[in-house]
C-alpha cells in the first residue's frame, strides 16, 4: 500500500519518468513484499531552481539529474529491508535510466493502517485488514 512520489527536473522526459516509476515499483516488490497491482505513483517535474539539492552533501556528486523518491508506507519493515530497497532503487535507476546512484535521494515515511483511505471516505484497512496485519 505504498504511495510513491518521484520529483525530477523538468528536463527529464516522460518516458524516463515512467521508467523511474516502474523501477520503484519493481524494487518494492522485490525487497519489501509489495503485492502485485499495488502501484500508486505521483510523478512531478520541477522547473529550474525548484528542485534544490546540495551537490556534495554526505559525500555525493549530484548533477542536474537529481531525483527525490518519497515513499509513504505502513510501519514495520526492518532496517535491512529498507536498506535493500534503497540499494535496489538506486541500482534499477542506473540500469534502466543511467541516473547515477549519487543522484538518488530516497525518503521513507511510515504510518499505520488507519492512516489510509483508498476511496469512498473509508479506512479500508481498518474495516478489512490485509493478511499479516491482524
Asked if 130 is an active-site residue, the reply is: no
Contacts of 38 (CB under 8 A, 6+ apart): 1, 2
Q: Which domains does the chain have, with CATH numbers?
A: 3-127 (3.30.429.10)
Residue of 116, 118, 120, 121 whose CA lies nearest to 133: 116
pLDDT per residue over 25-83, tens digit each? Answer: 999 999 999 999 999 999 999 999 999 999 999 999 999 999 999 999 999 999 999 99
Average model confidence (pLDDT) across the chain:
94
The HSE-up count of residue 130 (CA atoms within 13 Å, CB side) is 11
How much of the chain, in percent, has pLDDT values that exceed 70? 97
Give residue 129's pLDDT band: very low, low, confident or very high (50, 70, 90).
confident
Q: Whose grid coordinates read 516488490?
A: 29
Interatomic CA distance for residues 82 and 85, integer angstroms: 5
pTM of the entire predicted model: 0.91
First to last CA, the chain: 15
Is pLDDT of 118 > 60?
yes
Catalytic residue among 2, 55, 101, 129: 2
Q: Give me the pLDDT at residue 4, please.
A: 98
Q: Give me the pLDDT at residue 132, please.
A: 59
Angle between helical axes of 14-31 and 79-97 (0-180°, round to 10): 150
Is pLDDT of 134 > 80?
no
Amino acid at each position: 500500500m505504498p504511495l510513491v512520489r518521484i520529483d525530477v527536473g523538468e528536463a527529464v522526459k516522460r518516458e524516463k519518468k515512467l521508467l523511474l516509476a516502474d523501477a520503484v515499483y519493481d524494487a518494492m516488490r522485490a525487497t519489501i513484499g509489495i503485492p502485485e497491482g499495488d502501484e500508486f505513483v505521483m510523478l512531478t517535474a520541477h522547473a529550474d531552481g525548484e528542485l534544490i539539492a546540495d551537490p556534495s552533501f554526505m559525500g555525493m556528486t549530484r548533477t542536474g539529474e537529481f531525483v527525490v523518491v518519497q515513499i509513504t508506507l505502513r510501519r514495520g519493515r526492518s532496517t535491512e529491508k529498507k536498506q535493500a530497497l534503497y540499494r535496489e532503487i538506486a541500482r534499477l535507476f542506473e540500469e534502466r535510466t543511467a541516473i547515477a546512484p549519487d543522484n538518488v535521494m530516497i525518503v521513507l515515511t511510515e504510518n499505520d493502517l488507519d492512516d489510509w483511505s483508498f476511496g469512498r471516505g473509508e479506512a479500508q484497512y481498518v474495516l478489512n485488514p490485509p493478511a499479516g496485519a491482524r
